[in-house]
Structure formats: C-alpha cells, structure tokens
C-alpha cells in the first residue's frame, strides 16, 4: 500500500476461510545479519512523496503492485524517472541504488476503475532498472505457483511505521483463494503494497504473490494479494515486445519463469 494513498473500496463475498496456524509476529531485519537473505527486497521510493515495497526477480527486474505506479490525484502513470529502487534499504543505506528505465503494468489493470476484485487480481507490475544489480549480496528471488488454501506463507515488507528497515513475518496463512485473489492472515500496512509473499516449501523462498491491499474479514485484519502465474507471463511478453511506459532504448529484459529458474545474465478492503 503506497504510504500516501489509501482508499476504502468494496465488499468481497468471501468463501469460508480456512483455519489458520498461529501466525508469527513481525521481526525487524534491521541488521546485516538478520537481513542477509532478504537483500533483494527493497523500498521503492516514488515521486519523493511515498513508497511501496518491491522485490528483485532478475538482475534488472523488480516485481511490485501496479497501483504504486499511478498518481492518486490525476490517475496518471508516474514518470519512471521519479522512481528509485533501494535494494536492501536499512537505516539510511541500501545495498544498491537504481533508477528506473521503464515499467509495465498488467494489461487489464485499470487504476481509475471502480473498485472490484478484478482490480486487485490485476494489481501487478514489473519495473525494469536502468542498470542490472550484480551485487553478490543481492540475489534475485525465483517465483513459484500460487499457494493452496491453508498453506503457510511469509511476507517481507516496509511500512509507514517501519520505513527504515524491512520486517519479516515468517508465518501467516492463505485463508481463501477467490477469483485470482489470495486472502491471507499476514500483517501488512501503509507502504507494504507490492511486498513479496513467499512460499518456504523449497530450498530457498519463492515469491508466490504480491500484496495489493489490506482488508477486514470478520473483524480481523487480512492481506489481499494477486496470483502471479498468468500475470508474469503477460508482463514478460510486453517487455519482450518493447512495451512499457517511458522506455528509451531499453535492452532485452531478463527472462523470468514462474516456478522455474531465470536467465542468469503478487469483507471490506483498503488499497493504496
């Protein structure tokens, strides 16, 4: 959720929620040791007035929420030249600083449209950086298939009251899957839009969703996230075709594949 822009939207008709395991609390990743595994998650500073969370999924590609790239006042796309990715940002320093070359949003995403499940479902974007990050401490994450209902996931995110270091919630749960939206028990807040949702079922965490909004379900705070399989394919195809806004002589982007390796070279709810 972009820290400057939260609006109440609509009522979701939710399927019965799955029973959830005991969620873990937030753990601040404010030291080099605690944050070492998560350096590819960064703060996405936007237009000098707000921020979202993003995660590197290739040396030159950041995955985030589509609504982070729009101006809430004009409904226009924000000039990518006014966006900066701060990889592993903590306590005033980042492991890498990168400006943005271009960005693509889901082709069916409409920022100014009426609130709907479709808008949350399509709330996914890819940002291409001006220069790849080839820092050995910043290793891009692989992506994976959407988690099952009842499965445990985790989230790494920044937020308004923890903007100087990310926090890890290692255990939260997928309460429901509906119309391409994941309803999760994860603790998110202003600034957490675009945050990666991880599955820990493999040897290394894989991104399986992107936080779009926070919501309320039966009096409890929940997070809403989009699934990635179809969305990433569409976004990658647009990049390969030379699409995106404010691009200038962009090189061919790194190839990413949901559930596989990449070329070595994601009630009533509120949204930002």
Instruction: Provide the residue ranges of all domains of the chain, joining segments of one domain with +.
Output: 7-248+266-271
Full-model pTM: 0.86
Closest by Cα among 258, 55, 261 to 156: 55
Closest by Cα among 143, 188, 170 to 53: 188
DSSP per-residue letters across 233-256: HHHHHHHHTT-SBS--SPPPPPP-
The alpha helices in 68-193, defined as continuous H runs, are: 117-121
Place of tokens 């890498």: 96
pLDDT digits (tens, 9 = 90+) for 125-168: 999 999 999 999 999 999 999 999 999 999 999 999 999 999 99
Domain formed by 7-248+266-271, architecture: Beta Barrel (2.40)
Mean pLDDT of the chain: 84
**Tokens read off for 249:** 């002589």
CA dihedral 265, 254, 97, 123 (to 10 degrees): -150
pLDDT at position 263, please? Answer: 36
pLDDT at position 267, please? Answer: 38
pLDDT digits (tens, 9 = 90+) for 85-115: 999 999 999 999 999 999 999 999 988 776 6
DSSP 250: P
CB-CB contact of 17 with 175 (8 Å) = yes
**Tokens read off for 56:** 């590197």
Helix or strand (DSSP H, E) at 34 = helix 32-35
- pLDDT average, residue stretch 76-84: 93
Cα-based distances in Å from 208 to 57, 198, 250: 12, 6, 27
pLDDT at position 182, please? Answer: 94
Cα-based distances in Å from 83 to 5, 48, 50, 147: 16, 8, 10, 31
With 0-12 / 13-18 / 19 or more C-beta atoms within 10 angstroms meaning exposed / middle / buried, residue 125 is: buried
Strand-pair partners of 56: 62
| Percentage of residues of the chain with pLDDT beyond 90 | 64
pLDDT at position 20, please? Answer: 56
Instruction: Outline where DSSP puts E strands in 79-232.
Output: 83-87, 96-105, 125-129, 142-143, 152-159, 162-178, 181-184, 196-199, 206-217, 220-226
DSSP 246: S
Cα-based distances in Å from 148 to 31, 59, 156, 182, 209: 33, 29, 20, 9, 12
pLDDT at position 48, please? Answer: 80
Closest by Cα among 128, 136, 138, 140 to 238: 128
């Amino acid at each position: 959720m972009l820290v400057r822009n939260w609006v109440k939207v609509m009522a979701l008709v939710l399927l019965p929620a799955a029973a959830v395991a005991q969620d873990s609390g937030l753990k601040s990743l404010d030291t080099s040791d605690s944050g070492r595994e998560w350096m590819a998650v960064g703060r996405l500073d936007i237009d000098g007035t707000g921020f979202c969370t993003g995660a590197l999924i290739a040396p030159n590609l950041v995955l985030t929420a589509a609504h982070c790239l729009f101006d809430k006042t004009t409904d226009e796309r924000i000039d990518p030249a006014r966006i900066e990715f701060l990889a592993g940002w903590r306590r005033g320093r980042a492991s890498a600083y990168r400006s943005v070359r271009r960005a693509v949003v889901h082709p069916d995403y409409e920022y100014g449209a009426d609130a709907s499940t479709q808008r949350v479902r399509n709330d996914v974007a890819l940002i291409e950086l001006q220069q790849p990050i080839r820092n050995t401490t910043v290793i891009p994450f692989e992506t994976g298939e959407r988690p099952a209902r009842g499965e445990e996931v985790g989230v790494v995110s920044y937020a308004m009251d923890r903007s100087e270091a990310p926090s890890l919630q290692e255990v939260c749960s997928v309460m429901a899957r509906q119309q391409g939206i994941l309803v999760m028990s994860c603790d998110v807040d202003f600034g957490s839009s675009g945050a990666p949702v991880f599955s820990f079922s493999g040897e290394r965490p894989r991104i399986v969703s992107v936080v779009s909004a926070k919501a309320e379900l039966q009096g409890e705070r929940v997070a809403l996230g989009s699934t990635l399989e179809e969305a990433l394919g569409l976004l990658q195809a647009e990049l390969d075709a030379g699409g995106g806004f404010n691009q200038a002589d962009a090189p061919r982007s790194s190839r990413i594949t949901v559930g596989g390796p990449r070329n070595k070279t994601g009630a009533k709810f509120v949204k930002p």
